[in-house]
Amino acid sequence: MSSVARIWVYLSATPLLWLTATLVAFQAGAWIFARAHHHPLANPVPIAVAVLIALLSATGTPYETYFDGAQFVHFLLGPATVALAVPLYQHRAEVKRALLPMAAALVAGAIVSIVSAVVIAKACGASPETLASLAPKSVTTPIAMGISEQIGGLPSLTAAFVIATGIIGAVLATPLLNLLGLRDWRGRGFGAGMAAHGLGTARAFQVHPLAGTFAGVALALNGLLTAILVPLLAGWLRGAY
């Protein structure tokens, strides 16, 4: 609570209604998460998002009005991404030792992510625009939006898919990885960052600092590789839709 308060201090000198609502909704989500004994299915992000969407719909408030207040929270994503360098630096020895497993998981994960999303959606009859918007869904929003635009998708729709992917990845990561019997914090975190970018990374930091560090590395590397792969695969992808 006290560090949320500290973040609040620099968030804004002019507290706005929707900024307050965002923090209160997240605190409510965090409270439910704690009450549920940190069960992964009670992730505070989808709870806060659902509460806020319900509130905005009930009051007939457009998203743009909401974002005028919430942008102060949104803005901190940039500095937070830069801040990932700190755990990366602290764990640099472990990261350096794991270069080979990271490279293998990076290539395999990036290809699986792009191809499976497009193939499954195509098989279910999604429109071409939806397919192109889905291809970069596992990478961080600004990279994904740029890729989407380049291959004929809708950048803002891609942003929605990226967030949905992140929420699903953050919720499912712990149960899925437990089910698979994987115990290596490095690999678990790397998988979460590969599949669910920043939200997977946030979840990984909740579980273990080493998992969070590797998730941050995966987020950055997958962003780079997907930016290269999707345009290269675009010919094949276009054949698919």
Partner 1 sequence: MTSTLAILLVCQLAGELVARLLRAPVPGPVLGMLLLFVVLSARPRTSAAVENGAQALLRHLSLLFVPAGVGLMRYGPRLRAEWLAISLAVVASTVLTLAVSAIVFEAVARAQARR
**By CB under 8 A, what part of segment 77-116 binds partner 1?**
77-90, 92, 98, 100-102, 104-106, 108-109, 112-113, 116
Indicate the residue among 37 and 188 with the shorter CB distance to partner 1. Answer: 188
Name residues contacting partner 1, limited to 140-169 (CB under 8 A). Answer: 140-143, 146-147, 156-157, 159-161, 163-169
Q: Which one of the spans 34-42, 66-74, 233-241 is the region binding partner 1 (CB under 8 A)? A: 66-74
In angstroms, the CA 182 to CA 187 distance is 8
- Is 184 a binding residue for partner 1 by CB under 8 A? The answer is yes
The nearest distance, CB 162 to partner 1, in angstroms, is 8
Decide if residue 41 touches partner 1 (CB under 8 A): no
Kindly determine how many residues on this chain lie close enough to bind partner 1 according to the rule CB under 8 A: 117
Name the packing angle between helices 44-59 and 155-179 (round to 10°).
140
- SS3 letters for 116-165? HHHHHHHHCCCCHHHHHHHCCCCCCHHHHHHHHHHCCCCHHHHHHHHHHH
The token pair at 218 is 């995966």
Distance CA 156, CA 158 (A): 5
Q: Does 73 bind partner 1 (CB under 8 A)?
A: yes
Considering only residues 126, 151, 234, 240, which one is a binding residue for partner 1 as defined by CB under 8 A?
126
191 vs 237, which CB is nearer to partner 1?
A: 191
Q: In Å, what is the CA distance from 164 to each residue of 92, 154, 229, 240?
A: 31, 15, 22, 23
Work out how close the CB of 89 gets to partner 1 at its nearest, in angstroms, rounded to a whole number. Answer: 4
Tell me: does residue 35 bind partner 1 (CB under 8 A). Answer: no
CA distance 147 to 198: 17
Minimum distance, C-beta of residue 132 to partner 1, in the bound complex (Å): 12
* CA-CA-CA-CA torsion sign (110, 140, 162, 194): positive
Min separation Cβ 197 and partner 1, Å? 9
User: Within 10 Å of residue 21's Cβ, how many Cβ atoms?
Assistant: 19
